Chain A
């Protein structure tokens, strides 16, 4: 897959929904859910990649996702140890709930896609299952049409 596919987007939406159950469908809620998901990834991958390695991965994901969701270009991967996405809340305030949710889900899907391109699907799933044990992950390639 040359870019995050439908299955990855669906997984990303599931993760965000799981992180903010019952939250109202607002741009702020989408940004908050994305921040929490990013924190989960940090706790799972920091040991493996180090904070700077993870920051580089997030920066690349933002750069790629911003091609389809230009408002994300204002977001920066924080160098702080909690992996905060600086500027996300502010940037999302300018967007509709739908646009913010789609952009955040696309960003999370791109992070997962980048991991898959680097270390393969098997290892990526192994790590993300640790991050979100309650999210049902299927073998991504099985559900992909792209």
Chain B
């Protein structure tokens, strides 16, 4: 060993890939950690995922249970998760109940019991669950000394340790555990209306470089699943702005957009219900597939069969594209969704199909599907979603429903227009006793676009762009007047 070589800090996997990513590679070995959160937030499940991911006969785990959930009940519920491997229990994972001892309130005895078990098992990982209830009966007396001695013994025994507890934000300021801890992982749950969302935050992790912020968690059959906020991928990605123009699959629209939409950019199609937004989206995806670019369509409102049926009504059969693996439809409908989960569902589909075009149809329905707590940062979340996809060079089309306001030209119900590179607006107007439609391009990034207002129709062949409506004025009011001069010739 070189005299100048520093300590190598190995990382232990948590059993949750994306949590390892957030932690900057995993839990630093020999660290002294706190897993904090409210009852039911998933602390014990997280601790179990960590121990089952790491326990071997050579590197056993010692799991101290204290007051609170009885051990048998804990095992009863934890074995419902797929990560629970019964063959490790009593072979490489040893549960020790300290409840009776803890009730006596003698922290010295408790410390000795912990030490004796550590000497007996020689564990690589030690968990104390719940640590808060372990020290409660002592009435606070000698807690600091106990925590200090415990930390020293655990680290001296070459163990990576986790103290699990129902700590609050106030505890973080006053409890000595938090001063001594190398790592603090907080699991929180946010209840708004009838939805509940769990989030995780890494407050500190000495020897690692964790991703900041709150990350969404789901607890499912495989235990905790983490959906990191996608900041890192945006920062890390080398976003090369392409100059390649892609066809939207609608010739007239391509012309209005100045030749098409840029590869790796985002385009927003805004309009009222029934205006043809989904038609544009389907044509965009189909055109991509025709050019060899696999597609992913994320839908929230209609089921996949209904959506396919809608596409078939104007002569586009998406089923063969799905069967050939050129298109993947992702239907998301829960009402307590986070944007990060949506993003991971999209990214997973993109990865599976090698997708180059993505459609989200629609942002309106996606917002409805979001948990109330995520609606607060909807715009910021959308920014991350669009950013994460376009930095990968993926072209994305978003549709959004706009409630028509005839006094102004409103693009979207949110301040989301700045998120997208191009915006196309679809609208109705009334003339000659008929409800008709027009479209216009509001903005494009990095190129000139047409400023004309054109009629369009939804035909059996999809959306077809028609003539420039230069014989009408006041279209924005939806009740236009014919220009006395009949408009300029040659604008068809």
Contact = CB atoms under 8 A, between A and B. Distances in A.
Contacts of B89: 123, 126
Given A119-B72, A130-B90, A53 B99 contact: yes
Interface string A118-143: 11101100110010000000000000
Contacts of B72: 48-49, 53, 57, 115, 118-119
A47 interface: yes
Nearest to A57: B72
Interface in A48-62: 48-53, 57
B170 interface: no
A47 B86 contact: no
Given A126-B86, A126-B89, A127-B90, A51 B75 contact: no
A66 to B, nearest CB: 22
Nearest to A123: B86
A123 B79 contact: yes
Nearest to B86: A122
B174 interface: no
B97 interface: yes
B71 interface: yes
Contacts of A48: 71-72, 95-97
Contacts of B75: 118-119, 123
Q: Which of A115, A126, A127, A130 has the most CB atoms of chain B within a 10 A radius of its CB? A: A126
A123 B73 CA distance: 12
B334 interface: no
A49 B79 contact: no
A112 B90 CA distance: 17
Contacts of B71: 48-50, 53
Contacts of B90: 126-127, 130
A132 to B, nearest CB: 14
Contacts of A46: 97
B193 interface: no
Contacts, number: 52
B76 interface: yes
B247 to A, nearest CB: 59
Interface in A22-62: 46-53, 57
B413 interface: no
A122 B97 CA distance: 20
A49 B99 CA distance: 9
Give chain B's interface residue range (CB within 8 Å of chain A).
Answer: 10 to 19
Nearest to B91: A126
B100 interface: yes
B70 A49 contact: yes
Contacts of B70: 49, 53
Given A118-B73, A119-B75, A123-B79, A52 B86 contact: no
A111 to B, nearest CB: 13
A119 B97 CA distance: 16
Nearest to A51: B100
A57 B71 CA distance: 12
A112 to B, nearest CB: 13
B141 to A, nearest CB: 23
Contacts of A126: 86-87, 89-90
Q: Which of A49, A51, A57, A127 has the most CB atoms of chain B within a 10 A radius of its CB? A: A49
A46 to B, nearest CB: 8
A57 B99 CA distance: 15
Contact of A53 (B86, B87, B94, B97): B97
A50 B86 contact: no
B102 to A, nearest CB: 9
A119 B73 CA distance: 7
A39 B75 CA distance: 23
Given A119-B72, A119-B75, A47 B96 contact: yes
B19 to A, nearest CB: 26
Nearest to B101: A50
Contacts of B99: 50, 52-53
Q: Which of A50, A52, A118, A127 has the most CB atoms of chain B within a 10 A radius of its CB? A: A50
Given A49-B71, A53-B71, A120 B79 contact: yes
Nearest to B94: A47
B97 A50 contact: yes
Contacts of A49: 70-72, 97
A126 B79 CA distance: 14
A119 B96 contact: no
Contacts of B97: 46-50, 53
Contacts of A50: 71, 97-100
B387 to A, nearest CB: 46
A127 B95 CA distance: 11
Given A123-B86, A126-B89, A52 B76 contact: no
Nearest to A44: B90
Given A50-B71, A50-B97, A122-B79, 5 more contacts: A48-B72, A57-B72, A118-B73, A123-B79, A126-B89
25 contacts: A46-B97, A48-B95, A48-B96, A49-B70, A49-B71, A49-B72, A50-B71, A50-B97, A50-B99, A50-B100, A52-B99, A52-B100, A53-B70, A53-B72, A57-B72, A118-B72, A118-B73, A119-B72, A122-B79, A122-B86, A123-B75, A123-B86, A126-B87, A126-B89, A127-B90
